[in-house]
Each structure stands twice: as structure tokens, then as C-alpha cells.
Amino acid sequence: MAGPLSHLRVLDLGRIMAAPWATQILADLGADVIKIERPGAGDDTRAWGPPFLAAEDGTPTREAGYFLSVNRGKRSVTIDIAKPEGQAMLRDLARRCDVVVENFKAGALAKYGLDAVSLRALKPSLICCSVTGFGQDGPRRDQAAYDFMIQAMGGLMSLTGERDGAPQKVGVPIVDLMTGMYAAVAILAAVANRERTGQGETIDLAMLDVQAAFLANQAMNWLVGGKVPHRAGNRHPNIQPQDVFPARDGHVVLAVGNDGQFAKLCEAIGRPAWAADPRFIRNADRVRNEAELTPLLAERFRDFTRAELTALLDEAGVPCGPINTVPDVFADPQLRHREMLRHLPHPLAGTVPQVVSPIRMRDAPLSFDRGPPTLGQHTAEVLAELGIDDDERNTLAAKGVI
């Protein structure tokens, strides 16, 4: 693998999404990521379908779309960590790696001698990153967690949905994804620090902490203003007009970000006087008077089709866009130009579609030449790198270690 992290090797003990999302980011950047999976079953998300990837002959494989979204660029090795032989192999692998990422329950790996304390005793320069629901300490440390649950506990669902409707989760597992992003950032910071000091690091990431962190402006609105934020549908709490508006044949999103854009909006839709109206001149005025402004805009926008309105506002420099379906997104000329959707090699299907990393680097470009692995696809290859020959590998397989 090419890329700016091609000098790093990562031992991935993660499952589901948060930790694997972090290691996929590292793999996209060129790191050699060795994904450890349970013999026979593998990562739980392999079975989280349908849909499942179709083989070249059209029959379904055991590769679920969920798994395929988060494991690109990795090498899959099956090892049973509950068996002493498996633990020994993992310790040997850890000695040869720069980073270990895991998302076991707090304390679960210590009984196998595979926790951060044990592994860093073997290799002090090792960077160990743990991802859990609630962290390595505190009253909830032993509890399991999933994204949906943390969206609820962390306040996000209290802010998501229509004003008078029920709480809603976000349509993608946003806490898992953001936890993976924070994990990747923390790992790279630890790598940079190790280059200065020679010392590794132990990273403790909790999904609930991450959710609290990305409450962002909504948290500060409460901390500074003392008013509890509530669901407001698509209406922005601090900037107006930003909302979903009806056109003649559907809906568009309007995202005015400053007073100049509001003036351009009013001019473009033939209502320049609104920009001079004392109720709407400044953003703070528009936020206070949103209940008066929104119906005016909604009534005027119904005079246009979606295409007419978005074209008009694009030309005026006012942020506005259609509400695309997922197929619409990947048909968008901009995304097609940016090659965000690619087809990578896959041993069963020939190729597998992948939404690749959005990172673009001119001098150290990313390459996407390895699709998500099949279960145990690289076991023989990686064990050979540990000096384990075919006879010993067959013995380990017979004992259910690999």
C-alpha cells in the first residue's frame, strides 16, 4: 500500500464500526492494517444483512454491506484469542506493530495478557487505543453500548426531529463514525509524539464522551445562554434563514450564512425590500423574527420549481441545494468528477463498490488498491511473516486456533 502512513503497521482488534472506522482511515492513508477476526464467524457485521455482496456468478456471499463499508484496505487473519496459542501469536504480532486498536469491554483483554499494560510492557513504543462505550473508568465502565443508545444518552436525539414530533436518531451511526475519527486523530498525534520521545501511548476513547464533545454549538448555547436546546426540525438555532422550504415540485434546503447572502437572496427572488426590513437586516434580527420570515420565503419559493430555484440561487451565490436520495448523491456530477465512488478488487465478486476517503493529498496521494477482505483471507500470509510454516498452520487450524 502506498500513502503517507505506509511505514506503519496496525493490529486491529476492533469489531462493529467505531474502531474499524478508525483503522480504515489509517488503511486509506497507507498503513498495513491486520484485522483479527474470530475463526468461523468473524466480525459481527459480516452477518448484518441483507444486503450481501453478490459473487461473480450472482449468488450471495457472506459479505454484508455493513462490513464492506468499514473494512477496506485491511488484511483479515482469523485467530481465537481465548486459546493460549492465539494469545501468543497476537503478542508476537503486537511486537511487530506500531499501533493496536481494540474495542473490547473495559478490562476484558487483561485476562488474556493482551491489554495495553501487558502489550506496552513487551514494547514500550507501542500505541494502544481502546474504544468503549463509557471509557476505562467511571460508574458505567463495565456497560456495553451501541451507537443508537449513545445518541439517546448523549443528548443528540433530544435535538433531532420535528419540533412537535418524537425524538429521532441520525440516519447513519454518527457516534461510531465520530468516535472512529477521534481515534484516528489521537493515534496520529501519538505517532507524532513518539517520533519526538520514542515513547508509545495508551489512548482511552469513550463513545459517550465523543457524543458530548460534538454537541458543539448546541452545548454552548445552553452553557452560555442557560436555555435548554430542543428539537427544531430543520431550523438552525443560531442562523436564519436556514431550513427546508417547499418549491413548486418538491423541497430545497436554503442555507444562508450571513447578511450579505441574505441580501443576495432577496434580490434574486425579486424581494429586495426584505433585506432592508428592520426585522430582517441582521442575522440576530432574523433569528428573533424567524416566525415572520419563514412564511414569507415559503410563499415566494412556491413560485419556482426546484431546478429553477437552485439555479437562480446558485447564480446569485446563495447556498441552496436539492434534497438528494442516496442514488442521487452518487449521480451528482461533482462527486463523479471527484471519483468518490470506485470499484476495488474483491476475491469473490471480482470488484466491490467503495465510497473512498475524501482526503486528497497532492504530494503523498492515497491509493485504493485493496478491497475489504474475506474472512481469514490473509491468515496464511501473515502467519508466514511470523515464521509459522504450513505444517504448524495446519496444526493450529485443526485445534481451532485459526
- What positions carry a catalytic annotation? 176
Helix, strand, coil share of the chain (percent; to 5) = 40, 15, 40
- 399: amino acid identity, one letter: K
The SS3 of residue 370 is coil
- Is residue 132 within 8 Å of 207, Cβ to Cβ? yes
Are 36 and 11 a contacting pair, CB within 8 Å?
yes
Cα(86)–Cα(394) distance, rounded to whole angstroms?
14
- Which cell numbers hold the place of 390? 504450513
What's the grid cell of residue 291? Answer: 416566525
C-alpha 33/C-alpha 184 separation (Å) is 13
β partners of residue 10? 33, 99
Amino acid of residue 199 = Q
Alpha carbons 217 and 12: distance in angstroms, whole number = 33
Give dist(CA 300, CA 296) in Å, integer.
6
**What is the distance between the alpha carbons of residues 66 and 60, in angstroms, rounded to a whole number?**
15
Q: Which of 61, 69, 129 is nearest to 354 (CA)?
A: 69
Q: Give the pairing type, strands 9-13 and 32-37.
A: parallel
